[in-house]
Amino acid sequence: MSEERVYCSDLCLASGEPMLGTAVQVDVWLLLEYRPAWRRKAVEDNDLAPEIQAWLREQVAAFEATGRKVRPQLVRRPGRDDAGVTVFVAEEGGLGWREVEDYRDLAGLDLALANLEPVAQPHYFVCTNGQRDLCCARYGLPTWTRLQEAVGERAWQTTHVGGHRFAPNVLVLPQGALYGRVTEDAVPEFVEAVEAGELATEFLRGRSMWPPEAQAAEALLQGASTLKEVQGEDVTFATVSGNKTVRVRRASSPWQMIPSCGVTEPEDVFPFVSA
């Protein structure tokens, strides 16, 4: 009799590990449509023509040359049968997009300088790359289906966004927030908050453009805020009622977590806890 498979996200959920402050820190999200099946490291290992792979590397390098952290992703929307290739760029709280007829049309496009069409409505990118981690397909695909029913063409699938154990993971742009444990049953509640222009704090991992301390601290505030500074455990925001400082701290002793499906040895993590 074969052993029952254990999924890392099930273990993480059962442990109660806090998610705040776990979003990968990214200044620029660069998302390129790629419809074929994804491999484990899809951004580096795919069937794009060599010149398009080179173009993508050049775009990443151009943004990195400005001192920013760049995260390239592949995205797709199954069922989309019209021609064209879509590319998104998210930076500084904004999201722009461009659609071209063919990958070859990307060759002369400089995304750092291009006049992309701005996107105002939230777009949802669900990690579904089961080749990278089983949880992303097992739990991400049902969430993407429910999101598509709720927001239509604004729901996309994407490659690895980090944090398999928090699957289903959803990146919302231009909000710039990464969410975890957005199960298919939670989609209505999640969408209601995001569409209202709010952070869905119950599912929040963090706003990716901020350092971990600020990601964790923001969830403790009510209403809109702008990050001013991070000094150790103290994070200061500008709010409509003036500056507010929030103190956050990490657990003093480690939580032992299985980071991915197939990994047998736990890793020590130090999540943020209430200060």
Tell the residue number behind the tokens 């995001």, with chain if given. Answer: 194
Q: How many CB atoms lie within 10 A of CB 200?
A: 21
How many Cα neighbours within 13 Å face the side chain of 151? 22
What does each of the 275 residues of the chain score in pLDDT, given as a tens digit?
345 788 999 999 999 999 999 999 999 999 999 999 999 999 999 999 999 999 999 999 999 999 999 999 999 999 887 889 999 999 988 999 999 999 999 988 999 988 999 999 999 999 999 989 899 999 999 999 999 999 999 999 999 999 999 999 999 999 999 999 999 999 999 999 999 999 999 999 999 999 999 999 998 887 778 999 999 999 999 988 899 999 999 999 999 999 999 888 999 999 998 76
Distances (CA, A) of 168 to 65, 89, 126, 127, 247: 32, 23, 7, 7, 29
Token pair listed for 170 = 């959803």
pLDDT digits (tens, 9 = 90+) for 159-215: 999 999 999 999 999 999 999 999 999 999 999 999 999 999 999 999 999 999 999
pLDDT score for 275: 64
What is the C-alpha to C-alpha distance for residues 103 and 35, in angstroms, rounded to an integer?
12
What is the C-alpha to C-alpha distance for residues 90 and 96, in angstroms, rounded to an integer?
6
What is the C-alpha to C-alpha distance for residues 27 and 208, in angstroms, rounded to an integer?
7
Q: How many CB atoms lie within 10 A of CB 108?
A: 8
3-state secondary structure of 152: helix
* Phi, psi angles (nearest 5°) of residue 87: -130, 135
What is the C-alpha to C-alpha distance for residues 91 and 132, in angstroms, rounded to an integer?
26
Token pair listed for 18 = 């806090």
CA 81 to chain centre: 25
What's 254's DSSP letter?
P
User: Which residues have CB under 8 Å from 263's CB, separation 6+?
Assistant: 8
pLDDT score for 1: 39
